[in-house]
Structure 1
Amino acid sequence: RCIRCPTAFHIGDDCIAAGSILLPGLNIICPDHFEPLKTTPHHQPVHVSWCFVCSKGGQLMCCETCPAAFHPLCVGFPQTPEGEWFCRDCRYKKRPLYGEIVWVKLGSYRWWPGEITHPNEIPDNIQRLHHGIGEFVVRFFGSNDYFWLNKRRVFAYQEGDTGATSTNCSRGISSVFNKALQEAQESFEELMSYRQKLQDVKTQKKRPMYKHIKTNKPVGGVQIYTAELSEIARCICKKTDPNPCGPESECLNRMLMYECHSDLCPAGEKCQNQRFQKREYPSSEVFKTSWGGWALRAKDLIKKGEFVSEYVGELVDSEECMRRIEDAHKNNVTNFYMLTIDKDRIIDAGPKGNYSRFMNHSCDPNCETQKWMVNGDTRVGLFALREIQDGEELMFNYNLDCLGNDKTPCMCGSANCSGFIGVRPKPQMGENGNNGKSVKRKRRRQESKNVPKHDDFCFRCRQVGTLVCCDVRACQRAFCLRCLRLTKSPFGKWQCPWHHCDFCGRRAQNFCHFCPNSFCSSHVANQLLPSVPNKYDCCTDHD
């Protein structure tokens, strides 16, 4: 904190402005208190001869405290303002930092690239030179010379800068300058890489905003059921059993997916069938994935069939669920955390939940959801489908419907990936090519409702990605938002353009099977080519 003004910085070299005087007790004197000396040439301001916006010369207005210059029109002024004027960076107190790459003007030399040197890296002979508040040392690239300068003589280096051409430089100076440009570019790339790593670390620490809870929280008129002790099933396990109510025991409650009650189970404190109530979760952690999202991974070995976590959140009814989905759709929110318990209750782990909300979808998951009866109420748990190694990501199949007609691409990368969340995974073929099941022909009743499988590409541009699917029965068409000229997917039932006449918009009866062109009976004349046996009709656009 500055002892002369309200200026304050975070502790560390990443925030403290270059030229600050460090004092005991976390106090400083900030570089705003720099007092130029008229007898010192490099204290006098110097400005560039080109506009910082358009890079052209002409009549420029200059900042009072840095080398920046602009055309009045480039910064929104009809003419040059009277009196003192400060550029945007200076108005918002943006100051040079230690380690930054800058352009420097010293004496009669051209603008030269350099690096603002940290005080701990300044050579002793340079440190002993006279300097004051607001001055910092710049190391010139190419020559490795050092000099004390101030903010009035430097401006930030940008990626791709090559410096202004000069015909007055000797061949020796030009070679040193070219070397300086190369060193500046390399140092700038290293600085950007370092800052990106810091930003990634900070971003990784910032998880999505939600409130962590341990049990389901009802919203509105939704209830959490609690049964009387007389209505709760009681097993016949004993305390003397090797593993009472364990996975290999013959506990009737466990077989029926009922949890034992602590006051009723004969095994007492040795009961191993109270995992929901005791929250017996294996250790796990949230981490940032390589593709930018969040996920959950195991920190210990998890055995097959072991309880991983309970899926908890806010309990809402179907009406509230649809309202939240519609609001999210209007606000372009694409992440949903809803899981159905029964026809009247849905778990929404979006605003409130536990770590299970970070589990991603997979077409070949290592976990599955199971509904258990716990003290008279249905609760949802996640259980391991196979042995899960330490550090392996925890995933389950969402098995969700495409709400709002969206087909969300699946990024699980498994061998049987269907390509989209909500689409049944491809069967994994065994050695005999029979997907691991015995080859026995069974008669199956034909399903009364034939649900069409929509195209995995846009019917107009033939591109893949997030698609909007038609809700007309037996229509397999899908379109991308760009071809529909929409910014977000329509909510509710939607009919694709293939079902409307291109001329009048009425219901179409004649279709081109190679593009979305379609026509009603009044406008079909001369639009479709005559049908050929065993072929599709096509419009005149495909001649």
Structure 2
Amino acid sequence: MCTSFCLLLFFLCRLIRCIRCPLAYHTSDSCVAAGSVILTHHIMICSNHGSAKKNGLLTSPVNVGWCFLCARGGKLLCCDSCPASFHPECLEMEMPEGSWSCSDCRAGKKPHYKQIVWVKLGNYRWWPAEICNPRLVPSNIQSLRHDIGDFPVFFFGSHDYYWINQGRVFPYVENDKNFVTGQININKTFKKALEEAARRFQELKAQRESREALKQDRNSRKPPPYKFIKSNKPVGKVQVHVADLSEIQRCNCKPADEHPCSLESQCLNRMLQYECHPQVCPAGDSCENQCFSKRLYAETEVIKTEGCGWGLRTNQALKKGDFVAEYVGEVIDSEECQQRIKRAHENHVTNFYMLTLTKDRVIDAGPKGNSSRFINHSCSPNCETQKWTVNGDVRIGIFALCDIEAGTELTFNYNLHCVGNRRTSCHCGSDNCSGFLGVQPSVRMFEKARNAKMKQKKRKLRPEGKHTHEYFCFCCGKGGELVMCDRKDCPKAYHLLCLNLTKPPYGRWECPWHDCSVCSNPASSLCDFCPRSFCRDHEAGALTTSSLDDRLCCSSHNPLSPLGQCKRRHVSSSWHFEELTE
């Protein structure tokens, strides 16, 4: 909260500090503690230094006669700095000896300007009022005698002003009007005060929500914060390789060539994805194969996309094969990579910026990187990643796959492996979208789906050849974010909720289809329509032959029963997804 202690780096923000203690606040009325004396735009005397203090505590707090937690009276523990009172049992503590302050006072929470409060003045009842900035009250009120820590309040109903301190006010909260109106002996002035206070409270609340919405809107126009770096930064034991000049490849280009080492040339280094070194290349300063070292990036802009978060757009036309940018980030080893992935899963982080650099090195552009980290995935990308050797070290560059017009969003295929048994839905919108990141897109997939619908051919349940996972949950038949079985040749996937799990399983995991539903021993007979299965001791009579391709099914999926009819319609909808996997 802004009213808490701001002890660090006050000079980096618009802060005003106390000249007698380390306390500092933002300069707005909603942050500065009421009762502070402003000396200049940058220094003040905070409200903790008033002469109405003894041993650091206010000498005249007026405590309420009810508990702030249960609103009942009785033996109360009273705060020595503000009107708060509590039953010790409500705070789950014993009655302390000596002075005691409530948790808000111990945390340094103070009243602030434009706050609605209840005020106790003289023999009057607790009355609703608004704390005013001394600069905005009438001059005759400003001239009244007051001390550091005192602040003016405007009483609703009577419209009077008076100076008061923290020991005689406590915050007004929503619906306080309804709590007080149930009491007796409410005169017209007090009733009017309650109505004005409730109306002003809602007005200030609306202003605060409007400011917060505006701030959130401004923040939504900017991408999440990260540290911008120009080159890869090794982390931990990872080292960046630097080659000796004698080890660097020398191409066959000549300085007299029209465009030496360019895309149109026959440069051997370019063909082998080696960047020429300026001290080794025969073309010298005319060499056009030094895009990484010279950072010859395309003109791009970070944009907000529809449905895919932040993205990167090119502001210049690109030709096929043009260098777009280098993918830059922290270079970590495989052990650190697994630790970061594990922490991300524990904190429910779903955005990853990791690209494999070499066998034991990974680039993580999450905490640190450049604008290339915003390039989104697409199953029909217009860019690709290439691994180049630059001065003896492997680096990743992004290159145009085709001619790209200015103003086009840049994309490349992430080619992700499902990390931590999780699969993420793809929203690229391409005609050949595979539906999930890391699943190879194929145009034939959709041709087969259309042909199958027209000819109504029966297809095999499991695809032959390469092992792939299904795109739907084996329990409910719906898609989404799925966890997949790690057992060899098992294509089943599940929603976490369908498995009664809150977190994805870590490490190797086998689905419940392979365990007996009765005793959890290894199953020998499996239902082809749900995860129910049975071991040799419980398989007798548990499964019957379905009329659908003579497949085994449990009693819940008997196609002759009404329940089985319903299950049959559910499974037939799942077949459509099975056909897409072939």
Q: TM-score range by the shorter chain?
A: 0.7 to 0.9
User: What's the CA shift string for 1:217-242, capped at 9, x where partnerless?
Assistant: 4864867363755762424354573x
CA contact (8 A) 1:222 1:317 kept: no
Q: Following the alignment from structure 2 to structure 1, what is the Cα–Cα distance between the partners of residues 187 and 550?
A: 77
Counterparts of 1:413-432 in structure 2 under 5 Å? Answer: 418-425=434-441, 427=443
Counterpart in the other structure of 2:203: 186
Counterpart in the other structure of 1:531: 546
Aligned in 2, Cα 1:81/1:481: closer, same or farther, shift over 3 Å? same
Q: Following the alignment from structure 2 to structure 1, what is the Cα–Cα distance between the partners of residues 304 and 159?
A: 41
Q: Secondary structure at the match of 2:288?
A: coil
CA contact (8 A) 2:375 2:410 kept: yes
2:208 maps to amino acid: L
Within the alignment, does 1:476 sit opposite 2:494 as a pair?
no
Counterpart in the other structure of 1:88: 103
Q: Secondary structure at the match of 1:383?
A: strand
CA contact (8 A) 1:98 1:118 kept: yes
Aligned in 2, Cα 1:95/1:246: closer, same or farther, shift over 3 Å? same
Q: Following the alignment from structure 1 to structure 2, what is the Cα–Cα distance between the partners of residues 228 and 526?
A: 76
Deviation at 1:161, TM superposition (A): 5.0
Q: Secondary structure at the match of 1:369?
A: strand
Alignment counterpart, residue 388 of structure 2, candidates 348, 369, 372? 372
Deviation at 1:356, TM superposition (A): 3.4
Counterpart in the other structure of 1:177: 194
User: What's the CA shift string for 1:38-70, capped at 9, x where partnerless?
Assistant: xxxxx9533344433334444432222222222
Counterpart in the other structure of 1:516: 531
Q: Secondary structure at the match of 1:137?
A: strand
> Bigger CA drift: 343-352 or 92-101?
343-352
Aligned in 2, Cα 1:368/1:109: closer, same or farther, shift over 3 Å? farther
Q: Secondary structure at the match of 1:421?
A: coil
Q: Secondary structure at the match of 2:475?
A: coil
Aligned in 2, Cα 1:223/1:30: closer, same or farther, shift over 3 Å? closer
2:486 maps to amino acid: D
Alignment counterpart, residue 279 of structure 1, candidates 283, 291, 295? 295
1:520 maps to amino acid: C
Q: Secondary structure at the match of 1:525?
A: coil
CA contact (8 A) 2:334 2:361 kept: yes
Alignment counterpart, residue 503 of structure 2, candidates 483, 488, 508? 488
Aligned in 2, Cα 1:96/1:520: closer, same or farther, shift over 3 Å? same
Within the alignment, does 1:168 sit opposite 2:210 as a pair?
no
Within the alignment, does 1:131 sit opposite 2:146 as a pair?
yes
Q: Following the alignment from structure 1 to structure 2, what is the Cα–Cα distance between the partners of residues 271 and 60?
A: 84
Q: Secondary structure at the match of 2:388?
A: strand
Within the alignment, does 1:214 sit opposite 2:221 as a pair?
no
Alignment counterpart, residue 403 of structure 1, candidates 419, 422, 427? 419
> Bigger CA drift: 499-508 or 408-417?
408-417
Deviation at 1:191, TM superposition (A): 1.8
CA contact (8 A) 1:506 1:520 kept: yes
Deviation at 1:88, TM superposition (A): 0.4
CA contact (8 A) 2:326 2:398 kept: yes
Alignment counterpart, residue 116 of structure 1, candidates 104, 113, 131? 131
Q: Following the alignment from structure 2 to structure 1, what is the Cα–Cα distance between the partners of residues 96 and 552?
A: 69
User: What's the CA shift string for 1:139-191, capped at 9, x where partnerless?
Assistant: 45677654432212332344565452334334675355334313312312322
Counterparts of 1:430-449 in structure 2 under 5 Å? Answer: 449=465
Aligned in 2, Cα 1:158/1:283: closer, same or farther, shift over 3 Å? farther
Instruction: With the length of structure 2 as denominator, give the TM-score of the two structures.
Output: 0.73
CA contact (8 A) 2:312 2:371 kept: no
Counterpart in the other structure of 1:69: 85
1:470 maps to amino acid: C
Within the alignment, does 1:506 sit opposite 2:521 as a pair?
yes
Q: Secondary structure at the match of 2:153?
A: strand
Q: Following the alignment from structure 2 to structure 1, what is the Cα–Cα distance between the partners of residues 492 and 486?
A: 9
Instruction: With the length of structure 1 as denominator, give the TM-score of the two structures.
Output: 0.78
User: What's the CA shift string for 1:110-154, capped at 9, x where partnerless?
Assistant: 655544333443343432333321122334567765443221233
Aligned in 2, Cα 1:525/1:190: closer, same or farther, shift over 3 Å? farther
Aligned in 2, Cα 1:25/1:217: closer, same or farther, shift over 3 Å? closer
Deviation at 1:424, TM superposition (A): 3.5
Q: Following the alignment from structure 1 to structure 2, what is the Cα–Cα distance between the partners of residues 362 and 87?
A: 56
Counterpart in the other structure of 1:40: none
CA contact (8 A) 1:113 1:184 kept: no
Counterparts of 1:252-331 in structure 2 under 5 Å? Answer: 253-254=269-270, 257-282=273-298, 295=310, 297=312, 300-301=315-316, 303-305=318-320, 306-313=322-329, 315=331, 325=341
Q: Secondary structure at the match of 2:278?
A: coil
1:469 maps to amino acid: M
Deviation at 1:412, TM superposition (A): 5.3
Aligned in 2, Cα 1:429/1:97: closer, same or farther, shift over 3 Å? farther
Aligned-CA RMSD value: 4.4
Counterpart in the other structure of 2:481: 466
Q: Secondary structure at the match of 2:195?
A: helix
Q: Secondary structure at the match of 2:414?
A: coil
Gaps of 5+ in 1: 38-42, 435-446
CA contact (8 A) 1:469 1:478 kept: yes
Q: Following the alignment from structure 1 to structure 2, what is the Cα–Cα distance between the partners of residues 153 and 19?
A: 13
1:279 maps to amino acid: R
Aligned in 2, Cα 1:373/1:530: closer, same or farther, shift over 3 Å? closer
Q: Following the alignment from structure 2 to structure 1, what is the Cα–Cα distance between the partners of residues 304 and 120?
A: 44
1:168 maps to amino acid: N
Aligned in 2, Cα 1:98/1:533: closer, same or farther, shift over 3 Å? closer
Q: Secondary structure at the match of 1:174?
A: helix
> Bigger CA drift: 303-312 or 319-328?
319-328
> Bigger CA drift: 325-334 or 44-53?
325-334
Q: Following the alignment from structure 1 to structure 2, what is the Cα–Cα distance between the partners of residues 109 and 188?
A: 27
Q: Following the alignment from structure 2 to structure 1, what is the Cα–Cα distance between the partners of residues 85 and 79?
A: 6
Counterparts of 1:196-235 in structure 2 under 5 Å? Answer: 212=229, 214-215=231-232, 217=234, 220=237, 224=241, 226=243, 229=246, 232-235=249-252
Counterpart in the other structure of 1:442: none
1:156 maps to amino acid: P
Counterpart in the other structure of 1:439: none
Q: Following the alignment from structure 1 to structure 2, what is the Cα–Cα distance between the partners of residues 192 and 108?
A: 36
Deviation at 1:9, TM superposition (A): 0.7
Deviation at 1:255, TM superposition (A): 5.3
CA contact (8 A) 2:314 2:409 kept: no
